[in-house]
Amino acid sequence: MIEFQSISKSYGPVKAIDGLSLKIARGEFVVLIGASGSGKSTMLKMINRMESHDAGKILLDGAEIYSFKVRELRLRMGYAIQSVGLFPHWTVERNIGVVPQMLGWTAARIRERVTTLLQLFDLDPEIYRSRYPHQLSGGQQQRVGVARALAADPDVLLMDEPFGALDPVIRASLQLEMKRVHQASGKTIVRVTHDIDEALLLASKIVLLDQGRVVQVAAPLELLAAPASDFVVDFVGRSDIGIKLLSLQSAQSLARPEPQRPGPGLPAATTLREAVSFLAMQRLAVVNLTDAAGAHAGVLHAADIFGKAGPADG
């Protein structure tokens, strides 16, 4: 889908990207992460030619990005940023429909697409399509901004820390929303963040950068269970790697196929981290698990969490 081949980029004497190579497959949710100045935003902007590279090639579906006209390339890519950038005097419907309108879609097709996207982001179309940006909360504005980026059904969605300015509660809600949207749409998403917990939650693949170079490319569980270097360990948080590992595994993964016991229960999809907290607060050694339909789904033992969960389960 997208391939970086030995890409380099300098700003005067400063090398922002240094011989970087990377492949992003269709349908992946790739998160670029690293400290400030690591090159992650520069890398993202190179994909739609908001930044140019000095050496190497970037391919989109096997074709070099400079073989496309800029407008053609960018219309194939949705772009969502922290500042949202909604047009203040346009309704939500007109904001979302701006790119489809540029592409010559009919009014009926645009209206149908707006309805679909608002429903996807849990915004009632009949309530929100006629509202203006100032009538929306910060989280709702971000939802509309991402919906606009998806409006013309682009091949790729680029996201540059779109939820960075939001408060933690709204941010957490939108992270889960974005994960659900990716699963529902199957889009290729490339996202920049500085937040390791966000990367672990959302990504199918994490790309950790340092000084314009790739330090490690891995799935979230692999990054924690098999860090490539001390730099990776320190970046993800040396003191709480174990807790982060628990966050990536469900209670169902350690459930014993035992009959239901007296006492409370937890959804089987609960993370092991949440299960540990629940068991500690309730002073329990075991807890029943229930599936999405509310049926019994086994029993989780505290001893199994600490005896089995972790790198060996990868």
pLDDT, position 165:
64
Condensed to tens digits (0 to 9), the pLDDT of residues 15-44 reads 999 999 999 999 999 999 999 999 999 999
* Parts of the chain belonging to CATH 3.90.1280.20: 249-313
Condensed to tens digits (0 to 9), the pLDDT of residues 153-164 reads 898 999 988 776
Q: What is the pTM of this model?
A: 0.84
Q: Give the pLDDT band (50/70/90) at residue 308.
A: low
pLDDT, position 175:
86
* Parts of the chain belonging to CATH 3.40.50.300: 1-76+189-237
Condensed to tens digits (0 to 9), the pLDDT of residues 155-205 reads 899 998 877 667 787 788 888 888 888 988 889 999 999 889 899 999 999
What's the per-residue H, E or C state across the chain? CEEEEEEEEEECCEEEEEEEEEEECCCCEEEEEECCCCCHHHHHHHHCCCCCCCEEEEEECCEEHHHCCHHHHHHCEEEEECCCCCCCCCCHHHHHCHHHHHCCCCHHHHHHHHHHHHHHCCCCHHHHCCCCHHHCCHHHHHHHHHHHHHCCCCCEEEEECCCCCCCHHHHHHHHHHHHHHHHHHCCEEEEEECCHHHHHHHCCEEEEEECCEEEEEECHHHHHHCCCCHHHHHHHCHHHHHHHHHHCCEHHHHCECCCCCCCCEEECCCEHHHHHHHHHHHCCCEEEEECCCCCEEEEEEHHHHHHHCCHHHC
Q: Does domain 1-76+189-237 have CATH number 3.40.50.300?
A: yes
pLDDT, position 67:
96
Condensed to tens digits (0 to 9), the pLDDT of residues 57-79 reads 999 999 999 999 999 999 899 99
Q: Which CATH class, in words, describes the domain spanning 249-313?
A: alpha beta
